[in-house]
């Protein structure tokens, strides 16, 4: 490999048995064949349009035929300079060889491949001194001699294509029960290796218990020159900028480790629907929250519902079965979010033991095969001994989400206590749902009742001893549903599709204009109109999304904020006892037609330090920072909910 020339010089030895009648191989069309030998003899061939046809008459069928192809190919794709705002997770790069790094994806035939045939691979890569290559399988050795670094890998699991990455890496390693744990990091990030190796060990131990044996001989964390988060069979490729985020150890890393089971060892037939992102999100991102506590788990489920409500409309919605991959945020809200909730509801439907037993069976039966939703339905129906057709038809094959509301709720004294009655309404074609109704008493005591919904209206009547003060449906957010507009708090995400955006700079805070430049770029507000506060009238603000830089002096420009956020007339601020040196808050305008955001900072430098970060906190309403570090990130409590009713505390007549 010659990164300075973007060139791969290859020698491929293929052992093929038996030899097919016509031998046609795939190889990137820009390749140049230097020689081709079959069992040691030069044979005629034809290479055009990425298809290499070997024209030799098939020799007597021996057990194995040896085909040796020498070739070279250049991979010159230029990665985008600016990746902010690109939704395509590959950044349009499927294969490139460059001095800053090499990435050749498994879908690109960078070595000759027999279409449809899965082989075992031994790969040896010679690169300039210090450049190490990583691919599937076990690391055999890596050494530098005479100005070249040679790395070799052995991959015994049959695969058709292989992804390969290379770069100037520091290699660190550990061993976990015979599984190689490896990190390939740039010099800048080499100090992260011990933390990654320890986290890999911890996650592998946890997931092996839950999901069955880890399917590969190694797991490697590899740094990429593009800001990717790829999960490949037995390795993950993470961008330089993201790899040092401390929370990655417990977010992206377990996500990519869980993909070893789902999406890699058990493959996805994309044409039949990509179930692996929903399942991986559920078992990694979600399950780690669940281990941290019930409140964290509920908040995560709620975030899924908020993302769906904010990003998915009746026009762009689609059934989970049609999800193939994430090209836009609304697709992620269905494929990852609704997918994860579907596995959560499946777990509640079949029970804890059956759920984990079913997953282990999926891992064992699906290893080396591709599964679709149909097989998942079959496995769980068989494990639970019940037909789950209705479940998969409802959640996987049908687009949309239930829309639920409490209606006509009343409280009456009854023998020995109180009776709360009412109706749960479903808008649209009803779903079959098991929902929890929770009564809360004045002293905080709660009583849960389970109700099955089947039709558009389900009446209920709940008896309870202590006088309840509130009734809430699905208080723990166990069900996937479409939140009502009043349940959706304003968040940073609401600024991403602005309506006639206007930036207003508070009197005396003009330097914030320059400091906020990266904020405007991150929100795609570069073209927003910009004004000083003295040059706008409140009438001009109606229906417009607004960003206030600094606390306006004029009362009529000051937004209404939640009471727990205190802002003094001089612009100093505090949220529940925390202050920090920079604040970003998003609120809904009183007419609910637009969004108002507010950036406050003690100093211009404090504002400039947080400006490029804010757009990454899309789900939050309030952010507090100190010295550029996030102190508080929170989402407002919803103003109201059709799923919650406060009960009168006076006895009705």
Backbone angles phi, psi at 522, to 5 degrees: -60, -35
Length of the chain (residues): 653
Return the number of the residue (269 or 602) whose C-beta is nearest Zn ion: 269
For the bound state, the minimum distance from the C-beta of residue 279 to Zn ion, rounded and expressed in Å, comes to 9
Give the residues across from 161 on adjacent strands. none
For the bound state, the minimum distance from the C-beta of residue 277 to Zn ion, rounded and expressed in Å, comes to 5
Return the number of the residue (170 or 342) whose C-beta is nearest Zn ion: 342
For residue 588, give the nearest of 446, 492, 466, 449 by alpha carbon: 492
Half-sphere exposure of 334 (CA within 13 A, CB side): 28
For the bound state, the minimum distance from the C-beta of residue 231 to Zn ion, rounded and expressed in Å, comes to 6
For the bound state, the minimum distance from the C-beta of residue 482 to Zn ion, rounded and expressed in Å, comes to 24
Q: How far apart are CA 235 and CA 220, in angstroms?
A: 4
**Which residues, including other chains, have CB under 8 Å from residue 98's CB and lie 6 or more apart?**
3, 6, 79, 225
For the bound state, the minimum distance from the C-beta of residue 43 to Zn ion, rounded and expressed in Å, comes to 44
For the bound state, the minimum distance from the C-beta of residue 271 to Zn ion, rounded and expressed in Å, comes to 19
Backbone angles phi, psi at 27, to 5 degrees: -155, 145
Sheet order of strands, 7-16 included:
7-16, 65-74, 32-38, 41-42
Place of tokens 């820009």: 30
Return the number of the residue (107 or 590) whose C-beta is nearest Zn ion: 107
Return the number of the residue (220 or 606) whose C-beta is nearest Zn ion: 220
Q: How far apart are CA 44 and CA 203, in angstroms?
A: 52
For the bound state, the minimum distance from the C-beta of residue 77 to Zn ion, rounded and expressed in Å, comes to 23
For the bound state, the minimum distance from the C-beta of residue 308 to Zn ion, rounded and expressed in Å, comes to 18
For residue 388, give the nearest of 417, 353, 351, 336 by alpha carbon: 351
What's the alpha-carbon Rg for the chain, to the nearest Å?
Answer: 29
Q: How far apart are CA 342 and CA 303, in angstroms?
A: 15
For the bound state, the minimum distance from the C-beta of residue 483 to Zn ion, rounded and expressed in Å, comes to 24
How many residues at the interface with Zn ion, by CB under 5 A? Answer: 2
For the bound state, the minimum distance from the C-beta of residue 229 to Zn ion, rounded and expressed in Å, comes to 8
Half-sphere exposure of 549 (CA within 13 A, CB side): 27
Dihedral of CA atoms 354, 359, 361, 367 in degrees, nearest 10, equals: 180
Return the number of the residue (280 or 493) whose C-beta is nearest Zn ion: 280
DSSP letter, residue 256: H
* 245-284 residues near Zn ion, rule: CB under 5 A: 277, 280
CB burial of residue 63 (10 Å; 0-12, 13-18, 19+): exposed
For the bound state, the minimum distance from the C-beta of residue 210 to Zn ion, rounded and expressed in Å, comes to 17
Other beta carbons within 10 Å of 60: 5
Give the residues across from 299 on adjacent strands. none
Return the number of the residue (261 or 480) whose C-beta is nearest Zn ion: 261
3-state class of 522 per DSSP? Answer: helix
Give the residues across from 237 on adjacent strands. 222, 230
For the bound state, the minimum distance from the C-beta of residue 330 to Zn ion, rounded and expressed in Å, comes to 17
Q: Which two tokens stand for residue 95?
A: 């294969």
Return the number of the residue (169 or 207) whose C-beta is nearest Zn ion: 207
For the bound state, the minimum distance from the C-beta of residue 232 to Zn ion, rounded and expressed in Å, comes to 11
Return the number of the residue (34 or 88) whose C-beta is nearest Zn ion: 88
Q: Which two tokens stand for residue 485?
A: 């507009």
Place of tokens 């709620």: 302
Backbone angles phi, psi at 297, to 5 degrees: -65, -45
Contacts with Zn ion, 52-91, as mask; x by CB under 5 A: ----------------------------------------
* 280-339 residues near Zn ion, rule: CB under 5 A: 280
Q: How far apart are CA 538 and CA 540, in angstroms?
A: 5
Return the number of the residue (222 or 483) whose C-beta is nearest Zn ion: 222
Return the number of the residue (86 or 592) whose C-beta is nearest Zn ion: 86
Return the number of the residue (277 or 581) whose C-beta is nearest Zn ion: 277
Q: How far apart are CA 21 and CA 39, in angstroms?
A: 16
Return the number of the residue (339 or 550) whose C-beta is nearest Zn ion: 339
Q: 18 preceded by cis ω (within 30°)?
A: yes
Return the number of the residue (285 or 375) whose C-beta is nearest Zn ion: 285
Q: Which residues bind Zn ion (CB under 5 A)?
A: 277, 280
């Amino acid at each position: 490999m010659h990164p300075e020339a973007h060139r791969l010089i290859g020698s491929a030895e293929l052992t093929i048995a038996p030899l097919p009648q016509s031998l046609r191989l795939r190889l990137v069309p820009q390749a140049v064949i230097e020689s081709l030998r079959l069992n040691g003899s030069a044979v005629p061939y034809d290479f055009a349009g990425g298809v290499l046809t070997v024209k030799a008459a098939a020799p007597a069928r021996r057990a194995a035929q040896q085909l040796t192809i020498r070739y070279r190919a250049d991979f010159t794709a230029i990665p985008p300079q600016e990746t902010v705002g690109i939704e395509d997770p590959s950044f349009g790069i499927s294969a490139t060889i460059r001095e800053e790094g090499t990435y050749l994806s498994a879908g690109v035939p960078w070595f000759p491949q027999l279409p449809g045939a899965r082989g075992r691979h031994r790969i040896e890569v010679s690169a300039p001194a210090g450049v190490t290559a990583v691919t599937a399988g076990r690391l055999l050795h890596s050494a530098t001699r005479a100005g070249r670094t040679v790395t070799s890998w052995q991959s015994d699991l049959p695969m058709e294509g292989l992804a390969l990455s290379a770069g100037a890496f520091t290699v660190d390693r550990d061993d976990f029960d015979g599984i190689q744990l490896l990190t390939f990091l740039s010099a800048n990030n080499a100090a992260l290796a011990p933390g990654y190796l320890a986290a890999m060990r911890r996650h592998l131990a946890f997931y092996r218990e839950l999901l069955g044996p880890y399917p590969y001989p190694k797991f490697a964390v590899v740094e990429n020159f593009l800001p990717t988060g790829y999960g490949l069979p037995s390795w993950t490729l993470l961008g330089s900028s993201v790899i040092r985020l401390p929370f990655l150890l417990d977010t992206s890393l377990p996500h990519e480790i869980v993909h070893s089971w789902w999406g890699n060892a058990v493959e996805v037939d994309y044409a039949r629907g990509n179930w692996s992102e929903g399942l991986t999100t559920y078992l990694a991102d979600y399950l780690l929250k669940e281990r941290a506590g019930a409140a964290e788990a509920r908040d995560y489920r709620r975030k899924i519902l908020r993302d769906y409500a904010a990003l998915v409309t009746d026009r762009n919605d689609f059934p989970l079965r049609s999800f193939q991959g994430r090209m836009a945020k609304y697709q992620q809200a269905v494929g990852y979010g609704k997918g994860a909730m579907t596995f959560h509801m499946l777990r509640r439907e079949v029970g804890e033991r059956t759920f984990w037993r079913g997953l282990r069976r999926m891992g064992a039966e699906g290893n080396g095969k591709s599964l679709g939703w149909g097989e998942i339905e079959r496995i769980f129906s068989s494990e639970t001994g019940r037909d789950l057709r209705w479940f998969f038809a409802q959640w996987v094959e049908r687009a949309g989400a239930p829309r639920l509301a409490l209606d006509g709720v009343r409280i009456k004294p009854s023998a020995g206590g109180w009776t709360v009655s009412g109706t749960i309404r479903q808008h649209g074609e009803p779903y079959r749902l098991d929902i929890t109704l929770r009564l809360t008493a004045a002293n905080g005591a709660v009583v849960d009742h389970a109700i099955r919904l089947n039709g558009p209206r389900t009446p209920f009547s709940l008896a309870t001893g202590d006088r309840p003060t509130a009734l809430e449906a699905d208080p723990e957010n166990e069900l996937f549903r479409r939140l009502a507009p009043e349940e959706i708090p304003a968040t940073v995400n609401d600024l991403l599709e602005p309506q006639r955006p206007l930036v207003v700079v508070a009197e005396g805070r003009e330097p914030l204009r320059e400091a906020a430049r990266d904020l405007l770029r991150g929100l795609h507000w570069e073209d927003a109109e910009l004004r000083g506060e003295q040059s706008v009238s409140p009438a001009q603000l109606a229906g417009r999304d607004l960003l206030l830089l600094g606390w306006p002096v004029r009362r009529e420009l000051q937004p209404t904020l939640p009471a727990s956020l205190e802002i003094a007339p001089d612009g100093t601020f505090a949220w529940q006892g925390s202050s920090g040196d920079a604040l970003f808050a998003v609120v809904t305008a009183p007419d609910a037609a637009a969004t108002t955001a507010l950036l406050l900072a003690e100093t211009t430098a404090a504002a400039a330090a947080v400006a490029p970060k804010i757009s990454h906190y899309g789900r939050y309403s309030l952010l507090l920072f100190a010295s550029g570090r996030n102190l508080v990130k929170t989402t407002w409590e919803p103003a109201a909910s059709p799923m919650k009713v406060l009960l009168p505390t006076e006895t009705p007549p």
